[in-house]
């Protein structure tokens, strides 16, 4: 069975880090909408040109463009045995289109990382990014910096800095936008037998272990173990 995974969760929940970690451990691609959008623009594909024109006008890329870019990416050979989607779908319309794209393939496993809002604000307000390439600092980068080493990006070696817009007021507004625009996806997927929720407020290794167990249980139909959070035991945000 292919592991076709969607990672859901608010900003600061750690879904990007956990998606990368899980995908690497299983030998399947982590597909980030930001990455494939930039790739399409750089490659100059027809859909990439459309996306570039939209972004050059300062507008947000529309659902239909993002859906087409993701559809093209999922059709590649390396995604046949599974993938981890990070940042897509963001809307119910995108989720419905993804369901159509997935017809004839193994079912989607949807994992929602749940973290209390106070913890999200703390994480985002102290987040670091690379001044050179813009990548978010990984846990390993932060640990190295805490040990006395100069904080450097694990991707390109650039200097890690605080994001200028990661202050508490901006962070809380971003979370409001998430709850309003993206949280409806949880309701869209919640009743599926392959939907799982995970306590994302734990240590990263514990979250990774629970994520693996949740995905395995969704793929086999077995109940989730004691450490993870099932859809009947929600973590209050």
Residues 34-64 pLDDT 10s: 888 888 888 888 888 888 888 888 777 888 8
Is 196 considered catalytic here?
Answer: no
| Average model confidence (pLDDT) across the chain | 84
Is 174 considered catalytic here?
Answer: yes
Assign residue 66 the CATH number of its domain: 3.40.50.300
Is 192 considered catalytic here?
Answer: no
Number of domains in the chain: 1
Range of the domain at 87: 3-115+181-220
- The one-character DSSP state at 79 is G
- For the stretch 208-233, pLDDT in tens is 999 999 999 997 655 544 444 444 33
- Report yes or no on whether pTM surpasses 0.85: no
Alpha helices in the chain (DSSP H): 15-26, 33-43, 46-56, 63-74, 92-101, 117-125, 139-146, 168-181, 184-189, 204-220
> 101 is written with which tokens?
């794209």
Residue 229 lies in a domain: no
- For the stretch 129-154, pLDDT in tens is 888 887 777 655 555 555 556 778 87
Q: Is the peptide bond before 89 cis (omega within 30 degrees of 0)?
A: yes
- Catalytic one of 90, 122, 172, 192: 90
pLDDT bracket for residue 235 (50, 70, 90): very low
- Catalytic one of 122, 152, 163, 206: 163
Phi, psi of 227 (to 5 degrees): -75, -30
Residue 129 lies in a domain: no
Residue 13 lies in a domain: yes
Residue 197 lies in a domain: yes
Query: H/E/C letters for each residue in 161-220?
Result: EECCCCCHHHHHHHHHHHHHHCCHHHHHHCCCCCEEEEECCCCHHHHHHHHHHHHHHHHH
pLDDT at 74 over 90: yes
Residue 214 lies in a domain: yes
């Amino acid at each position: 069975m292919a592991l076709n995974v969607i990672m859901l969760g608010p900003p600061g929940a750690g879904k990007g880090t956990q998606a990368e970690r899980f995908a690497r451990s299983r030998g399947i691609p982590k597909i980030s909408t930001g990455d494939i959008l930039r790739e399409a623009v750089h490659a100059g594909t027809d859909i990439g040109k459309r996306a570039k024109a939209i972004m050059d006008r300062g507008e947000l890329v529309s659902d239909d463009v993002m859906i087409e870019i993701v559809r093209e990416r999922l059709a590649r050979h390396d995604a046949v045995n599974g993938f981890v989607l990070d940042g897509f779908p963001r809307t119910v319309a995108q989720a419905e289109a993804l369901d159509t794209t997935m017809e004839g393939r193994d079912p989607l496993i949807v994992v929602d990382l749940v973290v209390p809002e106070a913890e999200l604000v703390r994480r985002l307000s102290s987040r670091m990014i690379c001044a050179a390439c813009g990548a978010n600092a990984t846990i390993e980068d932060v640990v190295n910096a805490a040990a006395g080493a100069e904080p450097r990006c694990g991707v390109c070696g650039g200097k890690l800095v605080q994001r200028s817009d990661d202050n508490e007021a901006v962070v809380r507004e971003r979370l409001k936008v998430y709850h309003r625009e993206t949280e409806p996806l949880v309701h869209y997927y919640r009743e599926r037998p392959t939907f799982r929720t995970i306590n994302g407020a734990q240590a990263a290794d514990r979250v990774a272990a629970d994520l693996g167990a949740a995905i395995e249980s969704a793929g086999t139909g077995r109940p989730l173990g004691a450490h993870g959070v099932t859809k009947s035991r929600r973590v209050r945000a």
